[in-house]
Amino acid sequence: MVISYVFRRFLQMVPTFLGATLLAFLIIQAAPGDFTDRFALDPNIDPEQLQRMRERFALDQPVLVQYANWMWSIVRYGYFGESFSYRAPVDAVIYPLVLNSMSLVVVSLFFTYLLTIPIAVYSAVRQYSIGDKVVTFLSFLGLAIPNFFFILVLITGVLLMQPTLREVAGSGTVLEQVLRPITYDIDRGLAFPVGGMRTSQVYEGLSPLGRLQDRMWHLVLPVLVVTTASLASLVRVLRGQMLEYLRSDFVRTASAKGLHPRTVVYKHALRNALNPLISGIGTLLPSLIGGAGLVEFVIRWPGITPAFVAAVKAQDLYIVMGLLTVSAVLLMLGNFLSDVLLGLVDPRIRYS
């Protein structure tokens, strides 16, 4: 039964995928000018690249035939076309970008869910307590502060601490002994890295463990920013759900039976309240990808969004189209995953 549900849900993705890619394709087609002609005259364009595209994409055919060709070459060869600004096939360009962005998004997603549940449960169980009010207040703040502004403020904070930390680094005191292992680079006065994905000067020379550690350091600030954004909205949703279920009849029954309050809260109320959170993975993903995007831009994280913006500015259309397609696929996979999970935890959905 579960397998047939998963299969049905998978089949539903096919028309959506075709629709979304067609939309992406049409947007790019709507861009003014016949760009293959423009490229053919441009001496900076690699003629080999143009030749490769002509062979695969049949660029002189009607739009729908072109779309079919484009789709076919993606499915069959993983070929998205050529990037003229990178002078390389699109797939080779975007593959590392997608990986970099996903590392940021997946880690943030993990922390979001890890933190949402305890905070929201606490806030709902102790409604109107001081702690609940603080949580509500903070989640309003978290909703209103733009990601890119928040990361700028954090960077300001780190940089303002720099002179003090530098002094500590030269002092040889106990404080230095304490701070050295818990700061990123105390000799330069940096408590956290403020840009990039890794320390470019030394990264190649590091051991595998050192590399991992270096990457984790660089994840701290962006993950903090991206997590708080999604945390703020999820906590509000889950708190509302919890409040509703805590007042419901079956929870009252459970308490009246004499069950332990913890069992009532976690096994009866939370179990039901979690549903929108699970289906929320699907809607959370696009906002995470988008929200992480501006953060990536500020801290020069080599992810999807900075490359997307650069491609838009350089009118590198096949990169734009490739990234649109890949992000749509990621989104659909996220939706698929959340629906399957929802089907697993909630039998009502499986059978409808």
Chain positions contacting another protein, by CB under 8 A:
15-17, 19-20, 22-24, 27-28, 30-32, 140-149, 152-153, 155-156, 159-160, 162, 229, 232-233, 237, 283, 285-287, 289-291, 293-294, 297-298, 304-305, 308-309, 311-313, 315, 317, 320, 323-324, 327-328, 331-332
Largest alpha-carbon pair distance within the chain?
A: 82
d(CA 147, CA 280): 20
Instruction: For the CB of residue 252, give the shortest distance to another protein in the complex, in Å.
Output: 20
Q: Closer CB to another protein, residue 71 or residue 259?
A: 71
Phi, psi of 77 (to 5 degrees): -115, -5
Q: Closer CB to another protein, residue 68 or residue 178?
A: 68
Per-residue DSSP letters for 151-189? HHHHHHHHHHHHHHHHHHHHH-SHHHHHHHHHSSBGGGT
Instruction: For the CB of residue 227, give the shortest distance to another protein in the complex, in Å.
Output: 12
Instruction: For the CB of residue 287, give the shortest distance to another protein in the complex, in Å.
Output: 5
192 within 8 A of 184, measured Cβ to Cβ: yes
Q: Closer CB to another protein, residue 220 or residue 259?
A: 220
Q: Closer CB to another protein, residue 142 or residue 193?
A: 142
Q: Closer CB to another protein, residue 137 or residue 173?
A: 137
Cβ atoms within 10 Å, residue 291: 22
Residues forming a β-bridge with 235: none
Instruction: For the CB of residue 160, give the shortest distance to another protein in the complex, in Å.
Output: 7
Nearest to 88 by CA among 277, 346, 311, 250: 311
> Could you tell me the two tokens for 9?
């849900």
Instruction: For the CB of residue 188, give the shortest distance to another protein in the complex, in Å.
Output: 12
